[in-house]
Amino acid sequence: MLNALVTYAAEEADHNPLIPAWYDIIWSAVCFVVILVVVWKVALPKLYTLLDARSNAIEGNIAKADEAQKQAEAALEEYTRQLAEARTEAGEIREAAREDGKKIVAEAKDAASSEAARITATAHTQIEAERQTALVSLRNEVGTLAIDLAGGVVGETLSDDARATAVVDRFLADLEASEKAAQ
Protein backbone atom coordinates (compact mmCIF):
# COMPACT_ATOMS: atom_id res chain seq x y z
CA MET A 1 0.00 0.00 0.00
CA LEU A 2 2.84 2.32 0.69
CA ASN A 3 4.10 1.65 -2.79
CA ALA A 4 0.73 2.63 -4.18
CA LEU A 5 0.77 5.96 -2.41
CA VAL A 6 4.29 6.76 -3.53
CA THR A 7 3.36 5.90 -7.09
CA TYR A 8 0.23 8.08 -6.99
CA ALA A 9 2.18 10.98 -5.52
CA ALA A 10 4.75 10.67 -8.26
CA GLU A 11 2.06 10.72 -10.93
CA GLU A 12 0.49 13.83 -9.54
CA ALA A 13 3.82 15.60 -9.25
CA ASP A 14 2.69 18.56 -11.26
CA HIS A 15 0.05 19.26 -8.65
CA ASN A 16 1.12 20.53 -5.17
CA PRO A 17 -0.12 18.10 -2.49
CA LEU A 18 -0.46 20.90 0.08
CA ILE A 19 -3.12 22.83 -1.87
CA PRO A 20 -6.50 21.07 -1.95
CA ALA A 21 -8.61 20.71 -5.06
CA TRP A 22 -11.18 23.38 -5.98
CA TYR A 23 -14.21 21.18 -5.23
CA ASP A 24 -12.84 20.49 -1.70
CA ILE A 25 -12.53 24.22 -1.10
CA ILE A 26 -16.11 24.89 -2.26
CA TRP A 27 -17.66 22.11 -0.19
CA SER A 28 -15.61 23.13 2.84
CA ALA A 29 -16.76 26.73 2.46
CA VAL A 30 -20.42 25.65 2.18
CA CYS A 31 -20.11 23.52 5.33
CA PHE A 32 -18.36 26.38 7.12
CA VAL A 33 -21.13 28.84 6.18
CA VAL A 34 -23.87 26.41 7.31
CA ILE A 35 -22.11 25.82 10.64
CA LEU A 36 -21.50 29.57 11.01
CA VAL A 37 -25.21 30.36 10.39
CA VAL A 38 -26.33 27.67 12.88
CA VAL A 39 -23.91 28.91 15.51
CA TRP A 40 -24.82 32.56 14.82
CA LYS A 41 -28.60 32.08 14.85
CA VAL A 42 -29.11 29.22 17.35
CA ALA A 43 -26.16 28.56 19.61
CA LEU A 44 -24.93 32.11 20.19
CA PRO A 45 -28.33 33.51 21.38
CA LYS A 46 -28.73 30.55 23.73
CA LEU A 47 -25.20 31.08 24.98
CA TYR A 48 -25.86 34.82 25.52
CA THR A 49 -29.11 34.01 27.34
CA LEU A 50 -27.33 31.48 29.51
CA LEU A 51 -24.47 33.88 30.25
CA ASP A 52 -26.90 36.73 31.04
CA ALA A 53 -28.88 34.48 33.39
CA ARG A 54 -25.69 33.35 35.06
CA SER A 55 -24.45 36.93 35.31
CA ASN A 56 -27.75 38.05 36.85
CA ALA A 57 -27.67 35.13 39.29
CA ILE A 58 -24.11 35.96 40.28
CA GLU A 59 -24.96 39.66 40.70
CA GLY A 60 -28.04 38.69 42.73
CA ASN A 61 -25.95 36.41 44.91
CA ILE A 62 -23.39 39.16 45.34
CA ALA A 63 -26.16 41.59 46.32
CA LYS A 64 -27.58 39.00 48.73
CA ALA A 65 -24.10 38.41 50.15
CA ASP A 66 -23.61 42.17 50.57
CA GLU A 67 -26.99 42.45 52.28
CA ALA A 68 -26.17 39.47 54.50
CA GLN A 69 -22.80 41.06 55.30
CA LYS A 70 -24.53 44.33 56.24
CA GLN A 71 -27.03 42.44 58.40
CA ALA A 72 -24.21 40.52 60.05
CA GLU A 73 -22.35 43.76 60.75
CA ALA A 74 -25.53 45.34 62.14
CA ALA A 75 -26.12 42.26 64.30
CA LEU A 76 -22.52 42.41 65.52
CA GLU A 77 -22.89 46.09 66.37
CA GLU A 78 -26.16 45.35 68.20
CA TYR A 79 -24.55 42.45 70.04
CA THR A 80 -21.57 44.63 70.98
CA ARG A 81 -23.90 47.40 72.17
CA GLN A 82 -25.99 44.95 74.21
CA LEU A 83 -22.84 43.41 75.67
CA ALA A 84 -21.58 46.84 76.69
CA GLU A 85 -24.97 47.65 78.23
CA ALA A 86 -24.99 44.32 80.06
CA ARG A 87 -21.50 44.94 81.41
CA THR A 88 -22.50 48.43 82.53
CA GLU A 89 -25.66 47.08 84.15
CA ALA A 90 -23.70 44.29 85.83
CA GLY A 91 -21.26 46.88 87.20
CA GLU A 92 -24.15 48.97 88.52
CA ILE A 93 -25.74 45.90 90.10
CA ARG A 94 -22.41 44.94 91.69
CA GLU A 95 -21.96 48.47 93.01
CA ALA A 96 -25.53 48.53 94.36
CA ALA A 97 -24.94 45.14 96.00
CA ARG A 98 -21.76 46.47 97.63
CA GLU A 99 -23.64 49.51 98.92
CA ASP A 100 -26.47 47.30 100.19
CA GLY A 101 -23.92 45.02 101.82
CA LYS A 102 -22.28 47.99 103.53
CA LYS A 103 -25.69 49.20 104.73
CA ILE A 104 -26.61 45.73 106.01
CA VAL A 105 -23.26 45.40 107.81
CA ALA A 106 -23.68 48.88 109.33
CA GLU A 107 -27.25 48.07 110.42
CA ALA A 108 -26.10 44.76 111.87
CA LYS A 109 -23.27 46.54 113.75
CA ASP A 110 -25.70 49.13 115.07
CA ALA A 111 -28.16 46.43 116.10
CA ALA A 112 -25.37 44.44 117.75
CA SER A 113 -24.09 47.56 119.54
CA SER A 114 -27.55 48.46 120.82
CA GLU A 115 -28.18 44.84 121.86
CA ALA A 116 -24.78 44.75 123.61
CA ALA A 117 -25.60 48.02 125.38
CA ARG A 118 -29.00 46.67 126.44
CA ILE A 119 -27.44 43.42 127.69
CA THR A 120 -24.73 45.36 129.52
CA ALA A 121 -27.32 47.64 131.14
CA THR A 122 -29.42 44.62 132.11
CA ALA A 123 -26.33 42.92 133.53
CA HIS A 124 -25.39 46.05 135.53
CA THR A 125 -28.95 46.28 136.86
CA GLN A 126 -28.94 42.61 137.77
CA ILE A 127 -25.51 42.89 139.39
CA GLU A 128 -26.67 45.92 141.40
CA ALA A 129 -29.81 44.05 142.47
CA GLU A 130 -27.75 41.01 143.51
CA ARG A 131 -25.31 43.31 145.34
CA GLN A 132 -28.20 44.91 147.23
CA THR A 133 -29.62 41.46 148.02
CA ALA A 134 -26.22 40.26 149.21
CA LEU A 135 -25.78 43.44 151.25
CA VAL A 136 -29.18 43.01 152.94
CA SER A 137 -28.47 39.33 153.58
CA LEU A 138 -25.01 40.10 154.91
CA ARG A 139 -26.41 42.87 157.08
CA ASN A 140 -29.01 40.50 158.56
CA GLU A 141 -26.39 37.84 159.29
CA VAL A 142 -23.93 40.35 160.72
CA GLY A 143 -26.75 41.89 162.73
CA THR A 144 -27.74 38.53 164.17
CA LEU A 145 -24.13 37.72 165.02
CA ALA A 146 -23.58 41.17 166.46
CA ILE A 147 -26.69 40.90 168.64
CA ASP A 148 -25.62 37.48 169.88
CA LEU A 149 -22.12 38.74 170.63
CA ALA A 150 -23.39 41.94 172.19
CA GLY A 151 -25.83 39.99 174.29
CA GLY A 152 -22.97 37.78 175.43
CA VAL A 153 -20.73 40.76 176.21
CA VAL A 154 -23.38 42.88 177.87
CA GLY A 155 -24.92 40.00 179.59
CA GLU A 156 -28.46 40.80 178.62
CA THR A 157 -30.48 39.68 175.69
CA LEU A 158 -31.44 42.16 173.13
CA SER A 159 -34.86 40.98 172.25
CA ASP A 160 -36.30 44.32 171.22
CA ASP A 161 -36.11 44.40 167.42
CA ALA A 162 -35.98 48.18 167.12
CA ARG A 163 -33.20 48.38 169.63
CA ALA A 164 -31.34 45.49 168.00
CA THR A 165 -31.64 47.10 164.57
CA ALA A 166 -30.31 50.38 165.91
CA VAL A 167 -27.32 48.62 167.50
CA VAL A 168 -26.57 46.73 164.27
CA ASP A 169 -26.81 49.87 162.17
CA ARG A 170 -24.51 51.74 164.50
CA PHE A 171 -22.03 48.85 164.48
CA LEU A 172 -21.99 48.68 160.69
CA ALA A 173 -21.66 52.47 160.38
CA ASP A 174 -18.65 52.35 162.73
CA LEU A 175 -17.19 49.48 160.70
CA GLU A 176 -17.59 51.38 157.42
CA ALA A 177 -16.09 54.52 158.93
CA SER A 178 -13.05 52.55 160.12
CA GLU A 179 -12.60 51.08 156.61
CA LYS A 180 -12.71 54.53 155.04
CA ALA A 181 -10.22 55.85 157.55
CA ALA A 182 -7.87 52.93 156.81
CA GLN A 183 -7.80 53.72 153.10
Residue 152 has a pLDDT of 66
Q: What integer is the mean pLDDT of 163-175? A: 72
- The closest alpha carbon to 158, from 167, 180, 46, 136, belongs to 167
Predicted pLDDT of residue 114:
92
pLDDT of residue 15: 64
Question: Do residues 127 and 148 touch, judged by C-beta distance below 8 A?
Answer: no
Lowest average pLDDT, out of 22-26, 83-87, 132-136, 144-148, goes to 144-148
Query: Going along the chain, which residue ranges are E strands?
Result: none
What is the dihedral sign for C-alpha 65, 67, 68, 72?
Answer: positive
Give the pLDDT confidence of 95-131 residue by residue, as tens digits.
999 999 999 999 999 998 999 999 999 999 999 999 8
Pick from 154, 22, 35, 172: which is nearest to 180 by CA? 172
pLDDT computed for residue 5 by the predictor: 65
Mean pLDDT along residues 135-149:
76
Q: What is the pLDDT of residues 46-66, one digit of tens each?
A: 999 999 999 999 998 999 999
pLDDT of res. 6: 62
Instruction: Give yes or no for residue 158 having a pLDDT over 60.
Output: no
**Quick one: 147 exposed, middle or buried, by C-beta within 10 A (0-12, 13-18, 19+)?**
buried
Supply the mean pLDDT for the chain: 84
Q: What is the tens place of the pLDDT at every residue in 78-101? A: 999 999 999 999 999 999 999 999
- 170 close to 164: Cβ distance less than 8 angstroms: no
